[in-house]
Amino acid sequence: MRRARAWRALLTPSWIVGHLLAVMVVASFSQFGTWQLRRHEQRVLRNEAIEARLHAPSTDIAGALRAAQAEPPSLAPMAPHPLEFRRVHVTGRFDASSEVLRRPVSRDGAPGFHVVTPLVLDDGSAVLVERGWVPQSQGSVPVDAAPPPLGVVTIEGWAFPSETPPSGPLAALAPRDPPVGRLAQVAYVDMERLAAQVPYPLLPLRILQDVAPRPPGDDTLPLPPNPPEVAMGPHVGYAVQWFGFVLVTLIGYTALLRRRLLEAEEALSGPAPPPRRPSPPPPAAPGTG
């Protein structure tokens, strides 16, 4: 009976609000953890698609464009762009007079740029090629310390689509390129924006060049760009953290409820009665003794 009465102490308005808040916290943290697990599954599917493209045979630009157009549209979250990560090869002549620097690109902790140089094809069109990395001190174009090879060359690499500034609520925090004027440094390799400053049409893709490994100590600029990485991301770790928060909340709130019950039971039992003193003997009758 006393335990049942003690439970009533957890049904006061303030404690009911606390119960609801604890349920909301546990439900929210569980949803965040489940969402991170879904993101991990989406990342796995994305990486499988990327790996298939990275290991497919190299094709020319026309073949890459046809394959991208033939691929059915994907509604899967985090699905790669139909064009990106496709291995391509192309032949042409580099035009260093129209190159730009992509910023910021760090390498081993050092700030710098990627040199982006147009490769002019026989038909008069061109494709932008990210040839490699130069330090921040090489901030003007053309980069004399990193000239492209002369004459007709054939290069291989990975295709990527044109880039545009992000949109959305946080777009104002993203870097921006001037909307007009000639650009020497760019935050985004935007073919539509850069087409205004080159004397030939640009193909709707860029190529991250795949350069053969160099012998140790060869620091000739530009340094070869790092190949595309296929990473799993931190989603599993984040999910473990959120579910850990759920466990901590449950343990902490259970301990708080147990403590409150014990306090209520002690209050209902009341203080112990004081010890009774022995009564004094009655006085002796007169004349006796």
- pLDDT at position 3, please? 64
Cis, bond preceding 222 (omega within 30 deg of 0) = yes
What pLDDT score does 26 carry?
96
Q: Distance between CA 264 and CA 271 in Å, rounded?
A: 13
pLDDT at residue 1, rounded to an integer: 56
- What is the pLDDT at residue 138? 95
Residues 77-125 pLDDT 10s: 889 999 999 999 999 999 999 999 999 999 999 999 999 999 999 999 9
Coil, strand or helix at 212: coil
DSSP 8-state secondary structure symbol assigned to residue 211? -
Ranges of each domain in the chain: 2-35+236-268, 60-72+79-165+181-226
Other Cβ atoms closer than 10 A to 82: 18
In Å, how far from its chain's centre is CA 27? 24
In angstroms, rounded to a whole number, what is the distance separating the alpha carbons of residues 261 and 267? Answer: 10
By CB atoms closer than 10 A (0-12, 13-18, 19+), residue 90 is: buried
Which pLDDT score, from 0 to 100, does residue 103 have? 94
Q: Write the CB contacts of 91 (distance below 8 Å, at least 6 apart in sequence).
A: 121, 122, 152, 153, 154
In this prediction, residue 176 carries a pLDDT of: 87
259: amino acid identity, one letter: R
3-class DSSP assignment, residue 233? coil
Q: Which amino acid is at 15?
A: W
> What torsion do the CA atoms of 145, 191, 83, 114 make, to the nearest 10 degrees?
20
Pairing of strands 202-209, 112-120: unpaired
Please give the pLDDT value at position 36: 97
Q: Read off the tokens for 100.
A: 């730009």
- SS3 (DSSP) at 232: coil
Low-confidence ranges of the chain (pLDDT < 50): 289
182: Cβ contacts below 8 Å, ≥ 6 apart: 197
pLDDT, residue 287, reads 56
Would you call 52 exposed, middle or buried from its count of C-beta atoms within 10 A (0-12, 13-18, 19+)?
exposed
Query: What does pTM read for this prediction?
Result: 0.80
